[in-house]
Amino acid sequence: MSQDKKTVGVIGAGIIGMAVASCLQRDGHDVFVVDPNEPGRGASFGNAGLFGTASVVPMSTPGIVRNVPKWLADPLGPLAVRWSYLPFIAPWLMRYIAAGRADRVEGQARALRDILGRAVDNITPLAEAAEASALIRRDGSLYVYRSVESYKKDHAAWDLRARNGVSFEELDAGAIRQFDPVLSSNCAYGVLVRSNGHTVSPHGLVTALAQNFIKRGGVIHRTAATGFALDGGRLRAMRTAQGDIPASTAVLAAGAHSRPLAAALGNRLPLETERGYHIMIRDPEVSPRAPTHDQDGKFMATPMQDGLRLAGTVELAGLEAPPNWGRARMLLRQVRALFPGLRDDYPDDRVSLWMGHRPSFPDSLPVIDRSARSPDVLYAFGHGHVGMASSGMTGMLLADLVAGRRPGIDLTPFRASRF
């Protein structure tokens, strides 16, 4: 291994960056991570924590364009666009709608299946090495609908999941409450996916990976990456706000902040931020048995170490606009339709609000590839809603690419050149 040993710099200390760094370190490379913030403080901090094998349905699907006007008319609906940002986001939205064609969705779902199919199994070895196995649960997750008609409208998505190897059980109203008595009688139909897992602390999991990485000799530089020092297309060093750091290989895994660095490497990519919100209820009166997806409200309730997390919705407003905390508080109002045992309101010391930036491409697939200007700089960003779930597989894929091994899956759907 010594003759193949490389010095690898990973840009980004979220779940993707730390999974990649951990897998590269296990392969015997000297690895360092660059991020101006503490590990796990970006999008990884506030996600819903799901290791979702069932998350193979792309965000854009046939007919979605019919729902967009209704969603946009509601300022607190599941999708919102800041109108001042519309001229900037319009090209991305056109690509998003085009990605929802039936023929394209089938291919995207197959690609998502490849990176999500063993989501819990793929992250487990990294969690075990970091002594963080207790943060991962295999409780499945429940998808609930307020009416049978609502479920029937979503039937195409469940057919797509079934075609991609996702097993599930359909539950009527009585079976739902037998599975979880705290759910409301308003839940008329449900689908249970036992292969889904979750973490009870997304931030705790990333922190544990980072601590184990450092314990094994890795270094995390708290600074911003600013570019790459190339010599004839070969990487000499990573450029940072604190100076150059020598490296023979680099992995760009900076989430929603990856676009300018990729552009400097010759890849102008339609990476956007889907701003997501969560609200955390400390010491909730009731908590679900397993992560529960409100398919009508388009949000998820996840039982976590520090309370009940309500996460979801999409806001398109770029990286700089201030948060709209009304979108987080909306989740608190909606959740009582699922769990009537919760209070109508909570004092400030019982709730916390958060907003973060999901890094998203219009076709719901990340870019996992080599850069246009240097074979030594690789990409691993744009995982959208499945960053946590796809982190283990992404780490293994990048380790394969760095080592020159044949990746375990076909990476054609994830190429940067698809745009």
- Per residue in 89-143, pLDDT (tens digit) is 999 999 999 999 999 999 999 999 999 999 999 999 999 999 999 999 999 999 9
Mean pLDDT of the 193-197 span: 97
- Per residue in 320-374, pLDDT (tens digit) is 999 999 999 989 988 999 999 999 889 999 999 999 999 999 999 999 999 999 9
Question: Which pLDDT value is given to residue 107?
Answer: 97
Cβ atoms within 10 Å, residue 355: 18
Angle at the Cα of 350 (from 346 to 351), degrees rounded to 5? 85
Question: Which pLDDT value is given to residue 75?
Answer: 63
* Rounded Cα–Cα distance for residues 323 and 311 (Å): 15
- Per residue in 380-396, pLDDT (tens digit) is 999 999 999 999 999 99
Among candidate residues 20, 2, 1, the one with its CA nearest the CA of residue 251:
20
Residue whose token pair is 């246009």: 372
Question: Which pLDDT value is given to residue 333?
Answer: 87
Q: Where are the domains of the chain?
A: 2-45+204-267+364-418, 56-115+133-198+271-360
Question: Which pLDDT value is given to residue 1?
Answer: 41
Question: Which pLDDT value is given to residue 206?
Answer: 98
Average per-residue pLDDT for the chain: 95
Question: Which pLDDT value is given to residue 344?
Answer: 86
| Topology agreement, domain 2-45+204-267+364-418 and domain 56-115+133-198+271-360 | no
Q: What is the CATH number of domain 2-45+204-267+364-418?
A: 3.50.50.60
Class of domain 56-115+133-198+271-360: alpha beta
- Per residue in 23-70, pLDDT (tens digit) is 999 999 999 999 999 999 999 999 999 999 999 999 999 987 777 777
Helix locations, 5-147, DSSP H: 15-26, 43-46, 68-73, 86-98, 102-116, 119-129
Among candidate residues 272, 314, 217, the one with its CA nearest the CA of residue 94:
272
Cβ atoms within 10 Å, residue 187: 23
The fraction of the chain above a pLDDT of 90, given in percent, is 90
Q: Chain-centre distance of CA 158, in angstroms?
A: 20
